[in-house]
């Protein structure tokens, strides 16, 4: 049996490890133009902020692949022919497979800005993006950051720590509008506005990037006016890397459509990671959630299914956790006000200064957001997946989230069983 894994980042690595666990003798081929060094992509924001050296992003040595017995093909995949069961590489060579995993991820969403210097916009996804930004960082200089999501936020904080003055340009009315509820979003907005060195421009977009006079670049804003800056960095989300699959006949939507076993429309091809559009726990339809834990989990589930171990996928779900201004912000499931219209919001008690809100749609828990809350959002994420209902959430939990037992604690009926005998 020959397994071919395209893309060796979060999902691909996890898949290789689980394929090897499930099938000790199979041939595993990893296709990735740059499989080494083996680093963790989300850490680039920590490296930008100077919290870790760029070398510390490396999580394992080259022996990772040899220990797993994965043969590396350091090339880009160019075309897929599911009818013949062949993958064509950029060099024109063909690679036959018995089972294929597509885990080639996503690329940064481009910025719709014209101008002669729009190619100077730096994105923030991989190590080469970090190098590109670091080469342009100029302590005491000015940077423009486009995008008010988590990446935009991390870019802002990182560049600020590098000694730059940052203008954060957000198209929506408040930062983190997709990730958190109104309360946390406005708290972050307020803190950003009061941070020396940060200018927050909401409901604003960049129309063009031209050559500047006093600084290398000049960005023009849709509201009128322009800014002279040294660096333009954008974090406006990602787009699944599906372009090369358009002629393959696989069912594509925004990403590659996957069923409850992460199988694509071709039963020999599975998909995992940032390009998988898999069933979503909260919305019920198929969604791409381009986040690290989902990619690793999908890699595992897809690998087991590829190896013939029938493993249903619990469903994808939006979740995020970042330190903001010394506070810990975690959100799971649907918390964005646009998605939670008509939902019941329940605020849990907790230690002073903490904020923990649960979102119920009808009777069912669909999301939760916490700011400096006791670190039990994982428990709520698990509860969202299990479909916890409002009546099953005990008051002793809501009134004392700091020291209440986990929701998964055995209830009275189970405890009685233990008394048998």
Instruction: List residues binding other proteins (CB under 8 A).
Output: 14, 40, 42-43, 46, 51-52, 56-57, 59-60, 292-293, 296-297, 300, 319-323, 326, 328, 330, 332, 374-379, 381-382, 394, 396, 400, 403-406, 408-412, 415, 417-421
Find the shortest distance in angstroms from Cβ 303 to other proteins. 11
Q: How many residues does the chain have?
A: 421
Q: Which helix (H) or strand (E) holds 364?
A: strand 364-371
Find the shortest distance in angstroms from Cβ 324 to other proteins. 10
**Whose Cβ is closer to other proteins: residue 72's or residue 322's?**
322
CA angle 304, 306, 312 (to 5 degrees): 55
Find the shortest distance in angstroms from Cβ 194 to other proteins. 21
**Whose Cβ is closer to other proteins: residue 78's or residue 409's?**
409
Measured CA to CA, the distance from residue 33 to residue 74 in angstroms comes to: 4
Give residue for tokens 């064509």. Answer: 88
Find the shortest distance in angstroms from Cβ 277 to other proteins. 20
**Whose Cβ is closer to other proteins: residue 202's or residue 321's?**
321
**Whose Cβ is closer to other proteins: residue 42's or residue 212's?**
42
Strands of the 286-287 sheet, one edge to the other: 256-257, 276-279, 286-287
Does residue 150 contact residue 176 with C-beta atoms inside 8 Å?
A: yes
**Whose Cβ is closer to other proteins: residue 217's or residue 238's?**
238
Find the shortest distance in angstroms from Cβ 128 to other proteins. 18
**Whose Cβ is closer to other proteins: residue 55's or residue 83's?**
55
Q: Indicate the Cα dihedral angle 231, 54, 11, 148, nearest 10°.
A: -30
**Whose Cβ is closer to other proteins: residue 51's or residue 182's?**
51
Find the shortest distance in angstroms from Cβ 318 to other proteins. 11
| Nearest in space to 104 (alpha carbons), one of 242, 236, 3 | 242
Does residue 321 contact residue 341 with C-beta atoms inside 8 Å?
A: no
Find the shortest distance in angstroms from Cβ 308 to other proteins. 18
Per-residue tokens: 266 = 């071709």
φ/ψ of residue 128, rounded to 5: -70, -25
The secondary structure of 243-290 as a DSSP string is GGGTTS---BSSSEE--TTSB-SSTTEEE-STTEEEEBTTTSSEE---
**Whose Cβ is closer to other proteins: residue 17's or residue 170's?**
17
Find the shortest distance in angstroms from Cβ 349 to other proteins. 13
């Amino acid at each position: 049996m020959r397994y071919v894994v395209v893309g060796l980042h979060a999902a691909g690595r996890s898949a290789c490890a689980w394929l090897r666990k499930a099938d000790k003798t199979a041939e595993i081929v990893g296709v990735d133009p740059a499989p080494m060094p083996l680093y963790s992509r989300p850490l680039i924001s920590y490296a930008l902020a100077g919290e870790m050296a760029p070398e510390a992003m490396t999580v394992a040595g080259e022996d990772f692949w040899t220990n797993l017995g994965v043969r590396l093909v350091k090339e880009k995949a160019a075309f897929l022919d599911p009818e013949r069961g062949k993958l064509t590489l950029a060099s024109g060579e063909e690679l036959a497979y018995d089972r294929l995993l597509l885990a080639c991820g996503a690329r940064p969403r481009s910025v719709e800005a014209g101008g002669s210097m729009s190619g100077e916009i730096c994105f923030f996804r991989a190590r080469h993006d970090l190098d590109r930004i670091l080469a342009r960082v100029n302590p005491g200089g000015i940077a423009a950051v486009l995008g008010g999501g988590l990446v935009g936020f991390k870019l802002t904080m990182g560049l600020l720590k590098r000694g730059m003055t940052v203008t954060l340009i957000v198209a929506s009315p408040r930062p983190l509008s997709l990730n958190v509820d109104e309360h946390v979003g406005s708290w972050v907005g307020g803190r950003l506005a009061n941070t020396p060195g940060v200018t927050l421009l909401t409901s604003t977009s960049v129309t063009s990037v031209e050559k500047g006079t006093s600084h290398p670049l000049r960005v023009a804003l849709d509201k009128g006016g322009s800014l002279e800056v040294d660096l333009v960095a954008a974090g406006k989300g990602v787009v699944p890397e599906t372009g090369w699959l358009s002629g393959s006949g696989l069912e594509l939507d925004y990403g590659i459509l996957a069923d409850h076993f992460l199988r694509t429309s071709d039963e020999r091809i599975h998909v995992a990671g940032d390009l998988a559009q898999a069933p979503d726990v909260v919305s019920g339809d198929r969604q791409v959630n381009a986040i690290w834990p989902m990619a690793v989990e999908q890699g595992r589930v897809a690998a087991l299914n590829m190896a013939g171990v029938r493993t249903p996928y619990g469903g994808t779900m939006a979740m995020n956790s970042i330190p903001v201004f010394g506070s810990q912000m975690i959100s799971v499931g649907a918390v964005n006000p646009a998605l939670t219209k008509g939902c019941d919001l329940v605020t849990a008690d907790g230690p002073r200064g903490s904020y923990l809100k649960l979102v119920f749609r009808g009777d069912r828990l669909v999301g939760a957001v916490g700011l400096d809350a006791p670190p039990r959002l994982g428990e709520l994420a698990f509860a969202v997946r299990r479909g916890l209902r409002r009546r099953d959430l005990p008051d002793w939990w809501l009134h004392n989230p700091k020291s209440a037992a986990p929701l998964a604690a055995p209830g009275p009926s189970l405890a009685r069983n233990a008394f048998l005998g």
